[in-house]
Amino acid sequence: MKRIFIAIKVDAGETLFKVVSSLKSGLINEGIKWTSLNNIHLTLAFLGDTEENMIEMISSKMKERCEGSGKFELIIRGTGVFKNLSDPHVIWAGIEESEKLTQLNYRVVNGLDETGIKLENRPFRPHLTLGRIKYLNDKLALIKLIDKYHDAEIQRVPVNEVVIYESILRQTGSIYNPITKIRL
């Protein structure tokens, strides 16, 4: 079994780096596990534990559904939290609405469905996970920082490929090994 997800790799630019640095320094004494900027990605589908014999079929189906579908650009805009500001669990950077991204997500989800893989039935909310909150002493500091970047354009991201990753969990943080890269 391998822990699998399908994503768009995001190379952090100067502004994303500055936003994350600002969040980290403003929340330095909080219990937040920050995502390494080397691991920043936009998840299209999380499959979780997957039989190794299924991975080749998934790769083949993703190539069939996504290859040559067309390059496009994403805009990272704003910051926020999941669950909510009263009970925050995840700090994220948002992705501006994009018809091309919506179509790509549909291709991925539909292709997985064709292989018999059923994903959680929840709406696609494109975002980049910046940090996971374990505990928070100063919610006001978080609220001020989230508000500071609430609607800021952070970075434009060229999207040229979709990547099937294996996620290896370590105490020092997750390692994401690309299994298959699919050119758009």
Rounded to 5°, the CA angle 81-87-93 comes to 5
Say which of 6, 16, 27, 41 is annotated catalytic: 41
Two structure tokens written together for 28: 């330095």
Cα 13 to chain centroid distance, Å, stands at 16
41 is an active site residue: yes
Say which of 127, 133, 155, 182 is annotated catalytic: 127
89 is an active site residue: no
Task: Return the active site residues.
Answer: 41, 127
